[in-house]
Every structure is written in structure tokens, then in C-alpha cells.
Chains A and B, each alone.
Chain A
Amino acid sequence: MRVIFVIAKNTFREAVRDKILYAIVGFAVLFILSSLFIAQLARGDIVPVKSFGLAGIYIFGLIAAIFLGSSIIYKEIERRTLYFILSKPVSRSQIIIGKFFGLLAAVALITITMTIVYECVVFYQSGSFDYVSIIAMIFQIMEEAIFIALLIFLSSIVAPLISTTCAIVIFFVGHITTSALAEAELVGGISYKFIAFVYYVFPNLDKFDLRSFAVHNIPVPRSLGIIAFGYALLYSCALLYCAHLLFKRREL
């Protein structure tokens, strides 16, 4: 446990020291602040301010996860720092888990920072905080956990560019499958079976999208929290376990 904590701490430190991260956060803050300009255009309507702000947090959170996660294992192999770590009493699974938590902490920190800026913008515009968006951000962090686990999984088998491309494709698939399944249901046959397979096997990310709830100030059903948490936990574990198996077979 202590080993995992040390690896996580070092991964977190390395991530927050990355200069590209500051550029991403800087752009994100600028994007969220630009909602103030949107507010002028929308003539007092808070819906566009919230929707653009939350979209910014989501997009930049994902960009940060991709930049930090796509080469996380591959980089260690390329730099040969992994050999040094493995010469210590550290198992490969501890490396995977430690990397996951360290990266998740860094991405969660970015998400929280952006949420604070967003809340300030909403408060400045409407005179009250957007509490539902805090729940939406917790869900976003759960989604980011799956995404980071996916990036670690991909990073342990392929080069960063391929890993980034695959992650982006899987991310889109994760958002399309619900509507694709509904359409395929009308067609039926083999197409439906294929889409149903993709729907259940690939990460289904729709359940983490609480931005519409936050924008329109709708209470979030409690059961959704439990289901989403369970799904994120199981999916992340499955991906990390697969990453561990592949990583274990790899000759270093």
C-alpha cells in the first residue's frame, strides 16, 4: 500500500510540474472566463453561461487527461526509468495502480480548479452558486477515472500517438452508443447485435453526463450516483487489471 502511495505521489508531482498542464489550465480558465462575454450576448440568460462553462471544464479536463496519460507507461519504458523502479521491491501491478491514482489526483485537481473559476463566474452573473454542477463535476471525475484507466491500458501496449487516437475514438464511441443502439433497435438483425455488443463492452459514458442537470438546475436522482460510481469502479478495475496482465507479459 505504501509503495502504491509513493508511486502515486511521484506521478502526481511529475504531472503537476509538467508545463503543458499550465498551458491547458490557462486556456481552460480563459475559456470559462469568456462565458462573461457570452453572458453579454445572452442578455442575462444564465443557461449559455453555464453550458459553455461546463463544456470548457469537460473538454479541457479530457485534454489534460490525454496529455498526461497517453504516454505514462510508454515514457517510463523509453526513458528506461522503469528498469530502475523494477529493480526495487516493486511489482508491476503496484506501478499500474500507483500511476492511476497519481494521474487521477492530478486531473481531479485540474477539474476542481476549473470548477472554482466556473462557480465564481456563475456567482458574478447570477448572484448564486451552481450547486448541481458540483455533483456534475464529481461525475466528471468518475468519467475521467475510466478514461485514465483506458489511457494506462493503451499506454502499456502501444505508442503515445496510437494510444491517444484510440482513446479519442473510444471516447466518442462511449458517447454515441446509446443513441446508436436506439436507432439500431428499429433496424434489428445483425446491426443491432453488433451495436448492442459495442454498447455493453465499450465504456458507456452517457451516465456521467450531468451537465444538462446542472445547466437547467434539475435535482439529480440518487440512484444514478450509485450506478455511475459502481460502473466507474468496475470499468476502471477491469481496465487496470487488463493493463496489469499485458504489462506483466511484456519483456523488459
Chain B
Amino acid sequence: MRRARVVGRTFSGAAWVAGALLGWALCAGASAAIAQVTLPAPEPPAMESVATTCADCHEDRVEAFRSSPHGRVYQHSGDYATASCTSCHGDAAAHVEAGDGSNIVVPSRLSAAEIESTCMRCHSDNAAQTHWQGSMHQRRGVTCLDCHSIHAEREQRSEVESAMRTELCYECHQDVRSEMRKVSHHPVREGKMDCLSCHDPHGSITTKNLRAGSVNELCYDCHTEKRGPFLWEHAPVRENCMHCHTPHGSNHLKLQATSVPFLCQQCHANTRHPGSLYDATRLPTLDDPTTGSNRIFNRACVDCHAAIHGSNHPSAPYLAH
């Protein structure tokens, strides 16, 4: 990239950060004018009354739990019944008495249904869980604990950093991990997208847990210029992008399922050039470029039929402009 643009980008990024911090600092005083709800100060011993005993033996866990999302909820609400140690591990009296690993619920050792029941006591009314029951993950015994870690300070496994979220999905979906390594791919391994950009692991109304009602609606989120509708349509495009593309990764240009021109020839066996064979004899070589046919090299059919997703040009019934 040109040096001036590098400097420009660095400056614009720094300006963004500076603007954010300045805006925050300057406006904080003005915000004091907004009426505030006086929050009840948590009773000092609320967390400790539960966790002190637990911390005697499990200090690291309790300490990490304090600043976890569950720990924050518990300490903010001051409600003993919510998100404390015992709300997941059960009554600890006998466990404390015994002083060993017995008489305590260890969620990771429970059945899938029992784990789900534990978490859903509080989380069943999350919008995110609307379609969990009956979802493919639920039916296949994937539990909350397979993806989420309760004690980690920042829920490392449920993840803020997309690279880690993707690695989590790859633990079961190894085939997708390999697909993502192919030469034509969405920017998942670069960290600009992750599995959750397209899929909802908690379930959705579609078979593959898509975050939209159909494949095309999902693709249109980023590829808005393909939405149309167009004057001249390419029918399979309007029905399903996956007729031609394979979203996880491909050996071919533009995530095509098969390379052009052969991809097009799977549907177009017309007279003249669409149905003609383009084989090795039509490929250019350094010694003899005249052997090359513009219907097989570079982008083949799409070099002429470039408006392959649809066109508004009155003279483009063949999607050439």
C-alpha cells in the first residue's frame, strides 16, 4: 500500500480512539445531570457469605468467578439465589462437612439434560435461547458447558476474540476447519468473520442454524449488491447462492463449487459455444499462446457474461453487461 495511505490510516485510527476518549471524558460531567437510579449497595458479606466457605478450598475459582459475567450479576443483584456457587453446584453443606469431593454437584459430570436444566433455570428466557429446544446441537447432546466456561474471568471459551470462537467450533466441525484453509475462502482465518457471523449455535429456524431465514437472505447481508431484483434474472441465483458457491471454502475462484467454465456447463448445454468442450487443447501455453480460448482461461464464461447475478441493461438478456 502507498505510504501516504498508511499514514492516513494510522492517523484516522488514532483519531477515532482519541475522539472516543475525549468524548467520554467531556460528556461524563454532563451525564451527571441525568437522573440516576440509586442502586442498593450490595450487602458487604453477600458474596462472601456464600463464597467465603468455598474460597477456603477453591480460592482461584472464586476469585475468577468474581469478575465473570455470572459473578457480576450475583454481586450486583445481591441476590443469594442467583448465580452464586450453590445455584449451580447445589447445597454445599454436606460437601463442606465431608471436606472432600463428595456431596456436591459437578456440572461437567452431569448428563446433557441435567446440564441444560441447570443453565435454563435462568437462561431459558434469553432471546438467544428461543430456538434452543429441538435444535440440532440440543438434539445431539451438545451442552452449554461444551462451549461456555463459567468460572473464567472473561468466559474464555465463549469468546470475545473471534479466532478462539472459531477454534471452538472446529473441535467438532473439523471438516469445516479444513474447508476454511482452502485458497478461496471467507475471511474467517484472518479473524474478520467467524462461524457466528452466519450460524447461531443456540439454534435457529433453519436446518443449518443460519442467522437468517434462508441462504440468500444471509448472503445478502454482506453482498447487498446482489439482492436485485434485476431486469434480467439468472434463475438459480435468485433461489440459492449455494447452487454455484460453497461458502466454507473452495479450490476455485470466488468460492465456486466447480470451476468455470464447467460449472456453467452443468446447466448450459446449448448449441454453439456453451455446449462446446474446452479441454487442455484450448489452454494457452508460453510456447503457443494461440492455443488459448477466452472461454476457458482467466474467468472463462464470466469474462463475457460478467453480470452473472443479474442485469438491468436492456441489451443484456445474456447477462453480458
Q: Do A and B bind each other?
A: no
Using a CB–CB cutoff of 8 Å, the interface residues on chain B facing chain A are: none
Using a CB–CB cutoff of 8 Å, the interface residues on chain A facing chain B are: none
